């Protein structure tokens, strides 16, 4: 099933914000993923739905030969700038996680950090992850747990969005081990772990402002709403952040799944 119109809207939305400001505030999960994948000098590494290049940059620092692919051109432009600032030679290409613009079995490592999970056709995305990874190659994915803080956040935003087209998979299903095994278990020997990425902030209102400016999908959603509905969304999101307030501030702990695989 094709979702080209949906993906075009998603590409525009993800490119609408200054996403690197969010990425740089929560890099602990990416640190763990790259550490577990243990990049070696010369590893041919593909980072799928690379965004602003958080994982690609970490792998390149370790000497891997990195290619990053994303369908949002503004994110790639930022990724290229950040890599250039560090003197890292990373190739970035415009491409779709459901149709990666690279040859079969051409990478030693294939990764995706909270990225490929948003492609609407899960089976096609999984097939592409398997196609481009060589026999014996390594896979590493970061996805959000559906019952965790981000799952709750996405369900809140969904109340203000039009329904997804029929047949589109939920991104949060990639946080369920059984779903990932169904998609990838034939192609990879899989293992799983969970982790928590924690942010400490002082103000729920400042978090709202940061997300409106930096998280493209929320920025586009806010712009699409009439003023009363926009105000209600603001109030609901601020209340969501306030629900994580503790003595030391807003302690926003976001639970994630790490999927590690070895290509059969």
Q: What is the DSSP letter of 38?
A: -
* Alpha carbon distance 97, 11 (integer Å): 12
Contact status, residue 61 vs residue 88, Cβ threshold 8 Å: yes
173-218 pLDDT tens trace: 999 999 999 999 999 999 999 999 999 999 999 999 999 999 999 9
Q: Examine the pLDDT at 140 and tell me if it is beyond 50.
A: yes
pTM, entire model: 0.95
Residue 148 in tokens: 């965790």
Q: What mean pLDDT do residues 76-102 have? A: 97
- The ranges assigned to domains in the chain are 4-144+165-196+255-263
Task: Please give the CATH number for the structural domain made up of 4-144+165-196+255-263.
Answer: 3.40.50.150
Question: To the nearest 5 percent, what fractions of the chain are helix, strand and coil?
Answer: 45, 25, 30
**Predicted local confidence at residue 2, as pLDDT:** 61
Q: What mean pLDDT do residues 28-57 have? A: 97
Q: What mean pLDDT do residues 138-151 have? A: 98
Q: Indicate the pLDDT class of residue 25, thresholds 50, 70 and 90.
A: low
Q: 3-class SS at 250?
A: strand
Residue with tokens 């999908």: 217
**Predicted local confidence at residue 193, as pLDDT:** 98
* Alpha carbon distance 63, 23 (integer Å): 22
Query: Which of 36-40, 57-61, 147-151, 163-167 has the least mean pLDDT?
Result: 163-167
Q: Examine the pLDDT at 1 and tell me if it is beyond 80.
A: no
Q: What mean pLDDT do residues 57-67 have? A: 98
Contact status, residue 93 vs residue 56, Cβ threshold 8 Å: no
Return mean pLDDT, the chain: 95
Q: Examine the pLDDT at 5 and tell me if it is beyond 80.
A: yes
Q: Of how many residues is the chain composed? A: 264
Q: What mean pLDDT do residues 110-118 have? A: 97
**Predicted local confidence at residue 26, as pLDDT:** 66
């Amino acid at each position: 099933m094709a979702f080209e119109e949906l993906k075009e809207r998603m590409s525009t939305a993800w490119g609408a914000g200054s996403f690197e400001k969010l990425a740089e505030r929560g890099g602990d999960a990416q640190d763990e993923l790259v550490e577990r994948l243990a990049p070696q000098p010369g590893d041919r590494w593909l980072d799928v739905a690379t965004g602003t290049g958080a994982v690609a940059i970490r792998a390149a620092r370790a000497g891997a030969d990195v290619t990053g692919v994303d369908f949002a051109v503004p994110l790639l432009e930022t990724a290229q700038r950040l890599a250039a600032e560090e003197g890292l030679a990373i190739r970035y290409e415009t491409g779709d996680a459901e149709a990666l613009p690279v040859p079969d079995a051409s990478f030693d490592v294939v990764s995706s950090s909270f990225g490929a999970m948003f492609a609407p056709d899960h089976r096609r995305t999984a097939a592409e992850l398997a196609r481009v990874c060589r026999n014996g190659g390594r896979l590493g994915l970061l996805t959000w747990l559906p019952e965790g803080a981000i799952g709750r956040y996405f369900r809140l935003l969904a109340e203000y969005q039009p329904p997804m087209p029929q047949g589109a998979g939920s991104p949060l299903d990639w946080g369920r081990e059984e779903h990932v095994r169904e998609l990838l278990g034939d192609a990879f020997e899989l293992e799983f772990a969970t982790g928590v990425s924690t942010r400490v902030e002082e103000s729920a209102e400042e978090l709202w402002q940061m997300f409106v400016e930096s998280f493209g999908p929320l920025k586009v959603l806010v712009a699409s709403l009439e003023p009363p509905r926009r105000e209600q969304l603001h109030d609901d999101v601020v209340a969501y952040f306030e629900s994580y307030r503790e003595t030391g501030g807003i302690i926003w702990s976001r639970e994630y799944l790490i999927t590690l695989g070895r290509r059969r």
